[in-house]
Structure 1
Amino acid sequence: MGERKVRCQRIACDAMFTEDDNPEGCCRYHEGPIFHDGMKEWSCCKQRSHDFSMFLQIPGCKTGKHTTEKPITKAAPSPNKPIPQPLAAKAPTDAERANCARCRQGFFCSDHGAQVRQVLSKDSTKPLVSPANSVANATVPPRTKVVDINEPQVCKNKGCGQTFIEKDNHEAACSYHPGPAIFHDRIKGWKCCDVHVKEFDEFMEIPPCAKGWHNANPAS
């Protein structure tokens, strides 16, 4: 009986092989995918596509031997150092944020204190950006994260907060509010769909008015 074949774990290969039939150069693969604003790109050869099926059909640009070890994906390094943030008395856990509707959608939460509250002037309905965020947006470029195509992520688009995997992401997967959110004289609402209510719980229930790609990186 011949040696049992196993499947290669390199990204974009997926071939069946045996250790006795695994010469150097028989495997063609990619190092890792990058997902950003709905675009899918191979980090090794920079080839990209919006369509996931076409993206997976791009031939591998690296060669080597087949392997049964799964590749390790890491976050791409940021060219600039992140701006230090104030230390919280007690950092909330990921599970606590995942179960909180406000945290999932990027709103200020008094229970977990993970977001920055938007401050509005008394005579303006436009949300103001805090000085810390203004500096961060001006000096730090969006961070691109290399993730597994089946890794669960939480969408940070306002009004969504759903868990998704990049493999199933598409241009109409997300229902969200493009914003901005408006808080003025105890009135809460969305400028994008011109709906306003008094209670925050009612505000959270306002149906999203736009469709688009899920986005797990609010800075992108």
Structure 2
Amino acid sequence: MPDEKSLLQCYNRGCGQKYDPDDNKEDSCRHHSGLPVFHDAYKGWGCCNKKCTDFTEFLNIKGCTLSKHSNIKPPEPEKPVASEINYTEVIEIKPIVPKSLERPSFHTPLGESKQVEKENNSDEINIGTPCKNGGCTVSYEGPKTNSTVCTYHPGVPIFHEGLKYWSCCQKKTTDFNTFINQIGCESGCHVWKKENTDNTIVQCRWDFHQTASHVVVAIYAKQYCPTLSVVKLNPIRLYTSLVFPEQSNAMFVLDIELRGIIKVEESQVSMFGTKVEIKLKKAEPGTWVKLGDPVVQSTNPDKKPMTVESLTPQVDAVDLDDL
């Protein structure tokens, strides 16, 4: 057994192991040859096109390339050189303000939006399931795994201005591989299945974007039940209620008085395994400066209160230029 001090740290992306330089074979290291990719809530690797929405699952994606271990850090990708802007050539574009439609009554009856696609999401725990605690690299291999110590980060990963670190221990680095290999700052028991401690309200991340003809709202949710969840619309209101049976029927409710007017009959909802996408057809051209305003409790059909904070779109704080 080699001395711990004689072991070298492998810096191949996705490996994170220490190795004996005298026992380094052509297939000793399983790693990713490509770069990490973060886009539209998905996280994956450019070399093997494996994607997921959970950061811990991303860290546990097995490498697709075999080679020798290497203690040489791979070069960081070069940042694109920003082109200089000639401010004398900037053209001011003013929005076209068309004649507005008469705004319908807020109390117009809500109708369920047409569903164009629905997928069921299974949640079986199998051998090989990675621990859900951030920074832990252990996978479930049977009941014996529960007796091992889980070393993890209780905080969340933060990517900001080129720095990568965990909110719990603030050990900042610019190197992605060094960040992945940071040892957890707390010890405890493994968690094989995420559970929500609040059995009433679930906080789901959501955002929206728009085109000339549509506003598209995306709600990112795991383990919700498509058959029990509903999306209802009237010309100026969006009401969404997602039900999570495995979390004691906890709910996520998004109830908004829309900024503009929509055509209910031409709007659609798609329910996928990890997100709900609501495509709202604009009734008149123009850009919405925001999605809308929260509906107060007294007008909520299911009597579920919503706060202004919960209606703020939540996005990943990831600086893609630095990855």
Q: TM-score range by the shorter chain?
A: 0.3 to 0.5
Output the TM-score relative to the length of structure 1: 0.44
Output the TM-score relative to the length of structure 2: 0.32
Larger Rg: 1 or 2? Answer: 2
